[in-house]
Structure 1
């Protein structure tokens, strides 16, 4: 990049860094200050802490000025909106917030941002899709910034065994906005000592990437990708399942293959075969109802949501996930643990008696649920929060034994309850199919409301039942599918169901 793009050295150079805990924002600010001072400049940094639990980033602010005539400059402690030369955001939504705060100016600011996401509490707490729209941030930054450098620096840093601060520092060096050589940037990292090799690796990778491809295309939602259906799975039973999938329309193959893999992992190949049996019957109804003209939308949604319904989250499933070797390895990678370091994971679990009864043989579980006084007394013993350290022998062994109950899952009360509910839901969709094809498709999509376990599962079930209770009012209406979709969207808006209650009252008046 041409030297003319560099910032003026007559006035202070201002850099704002927005980073969350664990991203090394303070280290990055220290590197920038050390870099400036090593070149004879005067620099200072300040910080304003964000709020814990991922509701706000810490703002680090650096100002630097070339020393002249031995005079000591006066530097600002806080950024002035519209007067920041470089904004560095360690997460993409923080880049958007920097624009909202007025830190980014179109005639002045170079914006450096990582395009990965660390979801905020407000995004996670939504029952539906509460994720912020990345395309809105892209539009805002393109308009607000003089120049934007944006790609996934988090993944790049992790692949180098470092943290994102090193990658952001590399992007800053390659942006050519500071009048310092690359070697000076590297010297600032090396002066830190510990972990310098990994940081230098991430720095160089980001520097190279910024030079050759400084922008990534950002999408509002990730592109859905399915594994290709293999010619041979390497096992006779699995080969038979793959051959059965080929009997369906090609548009459905991706969902069916994903469903078969999920249910084989959840239970066994026979269970995946039961899934294909059920979808085959629904596909036949779809053909009879003119599904070909609709692109077999009914079969496609049935393939997706029936697999989700059959792979329900019971106590056995939760225990199995907690003790997987792949999960322990993923946690180690996320925290950056070295081979000689021990990592203990503490899980917070709050079981209820409902979950205990669901894991029991169906007769015993029903017997306990039919005796309220006994159920209440047992619930008082069970229903409390526990912090489970899965790295200890006691808790790992306990969860491992529970996960081994998978072979007896078909005999549990929860399995019977899930099967009955699933068949009632699919039966409703099938009955409506001939009368109102689009409404039947929306009925299948309503399974999205049920997710998780414990209280989350109970709330989802309640909302599902409320939405489904509107079917008699909608089945004869041409716009019935649109109304059911609105009800489902209202159910996903808030946890308490206020929006759904209002939508149901509206439906009752149409």
Structure 2
């Protein structure tokens, strides 16, 4: 609505960007109810996104103060430069609103959650594809008149509610609407659904909205920091390994070695943990300058990753753990007596199934075209297993129980051979070119997952390792290999890696 004439009634234009399942429609209904009970005219429209993570639904609300005897003419969509309040249920949606022109410095109040719901494009990147939240926040901060930001999802969850309640509370506390907080509370009470937790989340967010915006950007969700090495192990059987860490390894790497040890013991057993420490010690022994702990740090991380490779045994184990069931119950807000069902989708290939067998037997099956042709089509199909049922749970527990025989199967033999070949390259490089050796350790980032994901990562890893051998002896070998690693992590198709190999004059 134009504001050229001072005689025109006051209007407030609100745009809300929310993803599927975030309660954007509920938030719109509450705002409309709030305005109408105060005698204002309110109109709400929405345009759905193309899909849940390729575009948020854009809700638009126009509020017009009481106009006795007149019917205001209202718009159907927000117009760039004409939005008074922008509410985003996720940080990147606030950034997209700025890009669309919905946020202007002299006019717009922005209320946004700081949490992230990652886009498909971010998840597809083999490395860290998460967009820089700090950079987006800086853009939003500079583009708006007033900013209210907090992890609204976590705030609501702490009160047993949903994000729409905390966003509504932040709107109340911001002062951007000319209605008292008591009117906001009355709206929630009239809704009649989840009133108590919604009010708690609303009040908490309203109080928070009155505080200054923290200057620091949201924490990097991909940042990793190890826990301090404990003084005492969780069990008496594990204590000797913990004592060995303190006795044999540089203090600068204790925390990372402790994390790696916990990971491989959980993956297999105590003997496997002892093997892990032996491999890390062997790498450190080749370090010409162990004082700074860089080699020990990288070896601790990536040897643990290599030794705890993903296989169907590991997947079955993780999906049937009690802590996972508790986490899911918490995420859906289940009460103590609620039954929560989960359905897992599996599509194991012939290779994954045969890899569970002893290497000799698996090789014989692969060598028989007739037998393989008969069995593979019957095994290589999708399966949906309901892990909350007795039969479904027992199926996965049976597969998880194969862990005790893991060392004898073909997959483990292949993984150990691959691991040892990689570590030989590292140990050979470290005395001559320490930086190259460190980058060789980091290359293990490329191998992850199982099935097709594992195959693609292994292919990129093999290409980078061949390039590393070609780079040996060059003064820039370490930085060049680091650049190749970053390129390999940039896209799943390998286009960036091929381009970087070409830049370095190496064969793809």
Please give the secondary structure, in 2, of the residue aligned with 1:245: helix
Please give the secondary structure, in 2, of the residue aligned with 1:139: helix
Cα separation, 1, equivalents of 2:326 and 2:27: 28
1:280 aligns with 2:277: no
Per mean C-alpha deviation after superposition, the further-off stretch among 461-470 and 376-385 is: 376-385
Cα separation, 2, equivalents of 1:216 and 1:332: 34
Q: Structure 1 residues 112 and 23, CA, compared in 2 at 3 Å: closer, same or farther?
A: same
Contact 1:233–1:242 (8 Å) recurs in 2: yes
Please give the secondary structure, in 2, of the residue aligned with 1:40: coil
1:19 aligns with 2:53: no
Q: 1:356 aligns with which of 350, 353, 357?
A: 353
Please give the secondary structure, in 2, of the residue aligned with 1:191: helix
Q: Structure 1 residues 139 and 252, CA, compared in 2 at 3 Å: closer, same or farther?
A: same
Name the structure 2 match of 1:240: 240
Name the structure 2 match of 1:464: 461
| CA deviation map 1:380-404 (0-9, x unaligned) | 1111122222122222111011111
Name the structure 2 match of 1:264: 265
Name the structure 2 match of 1:5: none
Q: How does 1:47-196 map to 2 (within 5 A)?
A: 47-196=46-195
Q: Structure 1 residues 233 and 355, CA, compared in 2 at 3 Å: closer, same or farther?
A: same
Cα separation, 2, equivalents of 1:454 and 1:48: 39
Q: 1:396 aligns with which of 379, 388, 393?
A: 393
Q: Which runs of 5+ in 2 are unaligned?
A: 1-6
Name the structure 1 match of 2:225: 225
TM-score normalised per structure 2: 0.95
Instruction: Report the Cα offset of residue 345 of structure 1.
Output: 1.3
In angstroms, what is the RMSD of aligned CA positions?
1.8
Q: Structure 1 residues 268 and 9, CA, compared in 2 at 3 Å: closer, same or farther?
A: farther
Contact 1:82–1:105 (8 Å) recurs in 2: yes
Aligned length: 499
| CA deviation map 1:446-497 (0-9, x unaligned) | 1000000000000111111111111232110111111111211222222222
Instruction: Report the Cα offset of residue 329 of structure 1.
Output: 1.7
| CA deviation map 1:163-185 (0-9, x unaligned) | 10000001000001111111100
Cα separation, 2, equivalents of 1:257 and 1:48: 51
Please give the secondary structure, in 2, of the residue aligned with 1:237: coil
1:432 aligns with 2:433: no
| CA deviation map 1:125-184 (0-9, x unaligned) | 112211111121012112101111111111111111111000000100000111111110
Cα separation, 2, equivalents of 1:227 and 1:490: 30
Please give the secondary structure, in 1, of the residue aligned with 2:400: helix
Q: Structure 1 residues 337 and 89, CA, compared in 2 at 3 Å: closer, same or farther?
A: same
Q: Which runs of 5+ in 1 are unaligned?
A: 1-7
Contact 1:9–1:65 (8 Å) recurs in 2: no
Q: Structure 1 residues 252 and 9, CA, compared in 2 at 3 Å: closer, same or farther?
A: farther
Instruction: Report the Cα offset of residue 45 of structure 1.
Output: 0.7
The runs of at least 4 aligned residues of structure 1 exceeding 6 Å deviation read none
Per mean C-alpha deviation after superposition, the further-off stretch among 492-501 and 93-102 is: 492-501
Cα separation, 2, equivalents of 1:229 and 1:299: 15
Cα separation, 1, equivalents of 2:151 and 2:87: 13
Instruction: Report the Cα offset of residue 224 of structure 1.
Output: 3.2
Q: Structure 1 residues 365 and 24, CA, compared in 2 at 3 Å: closer, same or farther?
A: same
Q: 2:410 aligns with which of 409, 413, 416?
A: 413
| CA deviation map 1:192-218 (0-9, x unaligned) | 111111111111111122223544732
Cα separation, 1, equivalents of 2:129 and 2:164: 27
Q: Structure 1 residues 403 and 501, CA, compared in 2 at 3 Å: closer, same or farther?
A: same
Q: 1:330 aligns with which of 323, 327, 330?
A: 327
Instruction: Report the Cα offset of residue 412 of structure 1.
Output: 1.2
Please give the secondary structure, in 2, of the residue aligned with 1:81: coil
Please give the secondary structure, in 1, of the residue aligned with 2:504: helix
Instruction: Report the Cα offset of residue 220 of structure 1.
Output: 6.5
Q: Structure 1 residues 489 and 375, CA, compared in 2 at 3 Å: closer, same or farther?
A: farther
Q: Structure 1 residues 234 and 352, CA, compared in 2 at 3 Å: closer, same or farther?
A: closer
Contact 2:137–2:217 (8 Å) recurs in 1: yes
Cα separation, 1, equivalents of 2:334 and 2:8: 42
Per mean C-alpha deviation after superposition, the further-off stretch among 89-98 and 262-271 is: 262-271
Cα separation, 1, equivalents of 2:440 and 2:169: 51
Contact 1:133–1:220 (8 Å) recurs in 2: no
Q: 1:347 aligns with which of 326, 344, 350?
A: 344
Q: 1:479 aligns with which of 469, 476, 479?
A: 476
Per mean C-alpha deviation after superposition, the further-off stretch among 331-340 and 377-386 is: 331-340
